[in-house]
Structure 1
Amino acid sequence: MSDFPLGVHLPVEHGGALPKEADVAIVGGGIIGVMTAYFLAKKGLRPVVLEKGRVAAEQSSRNWGWIRQQGRDMAELPIMMEAHQLWKHLAGEIGEDLGLQTVGICYLAESQKDLADYEGWLKDASPFGLDSRMLSGSEVDDVLPGVTKRFDGALITPSDMKAEPWIAVPALARAAVRAGAVIVENCAVRGLDIEAGRVAGVITEQGILKAPEVVVAGGAWSALFLRRHGVNIPQLSVQAPVIATHPLADLDLPATAMSGLAWRRRADGGFTLVPGGWHKLHIGPDAFRALPKYVPQLRADWAGTYFSAAAPTGYPDAWGTKRNWQMDTESPFERMRVLSPAPPKAPIEAALANFGALFPALGVPKIRKTWSGMIDTMPDIVPVVDRAGTLPGLSICTGMCGHGFGIGPAFGRVMADLVTGGDVGHDLSRFRLGRFADGSKIELGPII
């Protein structure tokens, strides 16, 4: 954990030859793909996960590490509550430390509007029986000892948890392999193998893998991959930075978010800090195509969005990235093994200064490492989790909107049942693939 392993330069842990066939081929070695494989293997099937770079090298290791029920869309909430239980079960079952700890998650209210938004969410969530509750301003002082700013109140869920992403997801991948899954790193999937109008497997840089079912869980790369086969989703990717500090004085704080800043303490004694609400959209062809569908989201959260006229070379929505390629030639997924955008200096410095001013008793926070991730997002802030009706045998689980780490185990279980005809156990209509093409009104998930 101390090295924050986030990139393609890590040694290949899951090598070996590409199998000739699988029961299910999974495109993407992030937490969704890994957990889908885990639960398929538990069913006695042989899934194969194909990862162009390294397991969890992109957003699955670059996120905040929150396992959050609080603030979820009401359609996500029961799935997240299942994930909450699965995390605890997995921590006891797989025999590796995930860094799992119950710390509570707190949203600070800096205005009456914040309070009203939190109270509205709490009212909607009350039928689910969470331990979420509102805090008064004085109670916030008790929860955040030594804080130098006064807040109007807060929303807190004491049962919410955290884990260490760059530790947890690789550990879960090893558990999937022990259960019978196969993972092949450094093996980009160029496209689908289609026979007689249905999926017959995938075409990779190492050859063809035959499989009657394919799950696309490619995170920020999913839309580019799917469009090559005529499946269009208005998914974009936004850049978000993260800071890891050196260890600081011991002070018991919940994982917390406020305007411009979020934090959690890590297992090594440092803090993970985030310039909360700061994200950058690199404009490219997909951004122009999808812009009308993002207008409601941009109106609701305009202040936190920064724009760049062009994505770095090789990124999914870069102007020079190929949208069409032959299956026997190098694909965009081989040209860019890992998305690792340079972290922006100004918001990182501001977040560090703001945190230090809030908690002077901790001492001066010093940067140990900074990084950025590319979050796969959707116009309504909820993912696509569905079968692709136009291509039998194809299933999609993508667009987690920065919420995927915590909910990943449950969506993995859901996908394992979805592709095998089992009981998914939840109403997935909110996440259907066709909602952006059938005239449905875009209903935003919570922006809190």
Structure 2
Amino acid sequence: MAPRIAPVQTTQDLPARSTVVIIGAGIVGLSAALTLAERGVPVVVLEKGRIAGEQSSRNLGWVRKMGRAAPDVPLAQTADRLWAGLPERTGHEVGYARAGIMYLARTEEEMEMHRGWMASVADLDLDSQLLSASQIDAMVPGGVGTWAGGIHTASDGRAEPTLASSAIANAAIAKGAIIVEHCAVRTLSRAGGKVSGVVTERGEIACDQVLLAGGLWSRRFLGNLGANLPTLPLICSAFRTAPMEGPTEIAVGGPDFSFRKHRDGGFIITQRGALRAPLTLDHLLIGRRYLDQLKGGGKFLRIAVGRETWRDLTLARRWGGNKPSPFETVRVMDPPTIPTLNSEAIDNLRAAWPAFADVKIEEAWAGMMDITPDSQPVIGPVAAIPGLTLATGFSGHGFGTGPAAGQLAAELVIGAQTVISASPYRLERFAA
């Protein structure tokens, strides 16, 4: 079950028309809505379930530049600036703290990966630094592990997923955005070769532009329109401890665990070295696109046939606007927690920092991510469907870059000067 998010008072009134309709009320869609509302552009956000009900409230809350592919760093740098200004911009607390993030290396091979990343971003303005084992001990005291070294970015940080999307939503509403929950968009309506509106389960809304920010549902939505977006699901399991004394405010990622401070005094912990990979029909259809990822990180995947497999097979891949859609069948994707991964995480962490020996788990949850073949999002127009723009496929990185990704998507939708170049995120890169 997802952590409980701060409440938002939305509306059930469906307008007949808007300039822009956004499909999906996660952090990216909501950030786009806030950007548009601030610029006086009429916008409606439609959410099949509830605000931030899926990955936007289930992620770990890391806000980082470190470890990102070089073309993705400008988006993360822009997000840093926007995160810092969100409390003033929204009038609400989002839990943002620039407390730093550290990655640990157990082997020289892992350290070489960090050195390679540092070399790849050498011409960018980053404060990342390689660490020795003694520096790690000084910055995160009380450890008993032997580390080959690590890497640290002091300007990276964290925010609270249970607060951030709600704060952005409330601010967008205050500036004129309309947000409607429990209203699935079934398909698009078109006229003159371009988008003219959206068809929802409660009727049609006319509009000039549509932004699809539907997370893991975007592939199925586009498939029904005859467009291809390559994404596959992965599930991360996490838990939050009761308040406790911990070794540091820095978020720490080891090879097989991670932890970061939560605003209530506990820690968010996960098994950083393993993810559940539920097999779906899409693995047969597009799995070959992921061969490079499997070579690099396949050992971390726990491949499984389970509830998610059978659910995927039962959900329609083609439907009309006058028929219930898969988005009404599954309002919120709520995968079960994975006790084995959570147990591994705490065992691995205890072995490295004994301060975690007697932690009490307050809540546990899992979230399903949508992963593209290069682990980078798609932010940009769909050439085959004029009037449709995508902001999706964030591959587990969407929360940290959410405010910037939403602004970039909004600027593309209205044809404004963009905050950064969107060229790394073009859908056409997957055409081959």
Counterpart residue identity of residue 282, structure 1: P
* Post-superposition CA distance 1:140-180 (Å, at most 9, x none): 10111001102111110001111110111111111111122
Separation in 1 of the partners of 2:7 and 2:165? Answer: 16
Q: How far apart are 1:90 and its partner, in Å?
A: 1.2
* Post-superposition CA distance 1:174-211 (Å, at most 9, x none): 11111221110011111111122210111001110111
Counterpart residue identity of residue 126, structure 2: L
Q: How far apart are 1:402 and its partner, in Å?
A: 0.4
* Post-superposition CA distance 1:270-310 (Å, at most 9, x none): 11001113112222221211111011101110111111225
- Counterparts of residues 221-232 of structure 1 (less than 5 Å): 221-232=217-228
* Post-superposition CA distance 1:24-71 (Å, at most 9, x none): 000000011000001011111011100001110100000010011111
Map of 2:70 onto structure 1: 74
Report SS of the residue matched to 1:123: helix
Map of 1:123 onto structure 2: 119
Residue of 290, 294, 299 corresponding to 2:290: 294
Residue of 418, 425, 428 corresponding to 1:431: 425
Report SS of the residue matched to 2:123: helix
Report SS of the residue matched to 1:392: coil
Separation in 2 of the partners of 1:181 and 1:302? Answer: 42
Residues 1:210 and 2:209 aligned together: no
Separation in 2 of the partners of 1:11 and 1:148? Answer: 42
- Counterparts of residues 292-331 of structure 1 (less than 5 Å): 292-312=288-308, 315=311, 318-331=312-325
* Post-superposition CA distance 1:421-445 (Å, at most 9, x none): 11114232221111112x3xxxxxx
Q: How far apart are 1:344 and its partner, in Å?
A: 1.1
Report SS of the residue matched to 1:76: helix
Q: How far apart are 1:314 and its partner, in Å?
A: 7.8
Residues 1:21 and 2:17 aligned together: yes
- Aligned CA distance change for structure 1 residues 250 and 113 (closer, same or farther; 3 Å): closer
* Post-superposition CA distance 1:69-98 (Å, at most 9, x none): 111111110111011000111122222111
Map of 1:381 onto structure 2: 375
Counterpart residue identity of residue 353, structure 1: D
Separation in 1 of the partners of 2:309 and 2:274? Answer: 22
Map of 2:395 onto structure 1: 401
Q: Which moved more, 1:264-273 or 1:243-252?
A: 243-252
Task: Give the fraction of aligned pairs with identical amino acids, expressed as a percent.
Answer: 37
Residue of 390, 407, 413 corresponding to 1:413: 407
- Aligned CA distance change for structure 1 residues 11 and 167 (closer, same or farther; 3 Å): closer
Q: Any conservation in 2 of the 1:26–1:33 contact (CA below 8 Å)?
A: yes
Counterpart residue identity of residue 26, structure 1: I
Q: How far apart are 1:16 and its partner, in Å?
A: 2.2
Q: Which runs of 5+ in 1 are unaligned?
A: 440-448
Report the TM-score, using the length of structure 1 for normalisation: 0.93
Separation in 2 of the partners of 1:183 and 1:314? Answer: 32
* Post-superposition CA distance 1:4-25 (Å, at most 9, x none): 316xxx9773122111111100
Q: Which runs of 5+ in 2 are unaligned?
A: none
Separation in 2 of the partners of 1:410 and 1:389? Answer: 23
Separation in 2 of the partners of 1:425 and 1:409? Answer: 11
- Aligned CA distance change for structure 1 residues 13 and 388 (closer, same or farther; 3 Å): same
Q: Any conservation in 2 of the 1:12–1:54 contact (CA below 8 Å)?
A: no
Separation in 1 of the partners of 2:42 and 2:98? Answer: 34
Counterpart residue identity of residue 45, structure 1: V
Map of 1:42 onto structure 2: 38
Residue of 114, 132, 152 corresponding to 1:156: 152
Q: How far apart are 1:356 and its partner, in Å?
A: 2.4
Separation in 2 of the partners of 1:161 and 1:91? Answer: 15
Residues 1:104 and 2:95 aligned together: no
Residue of 188, 194, 203 corresponding to 2:190: 194
Separation in 1 of the partners of 2:262 and 2:413? Answer: 36
Separation in 2 of the partners of 1:307 and 1:277? Answer: 14
Residues 1:244 and 2:262 aligned together: no
Residues 1:4 and 2:3 aligned together: yes
Residues 1:422 and 2:416 aligned together: yes
Residue of 157, 161, 165 corresponding to 1:169: 165
Report SS of the residue matched to 1:389: coil
Report SS of the residue matched to 1:386: strand
Residue of 336, 340, 345 corresponding to 2:334: 340
Report SS of the residue matched to 1:13: coil
Report the TM-score, using the length of structure 2 for normalisation: 0.97
Q: Any conservation in 2 of the 1:205–1:330 contact (CA below 8 Å)?
A: yes
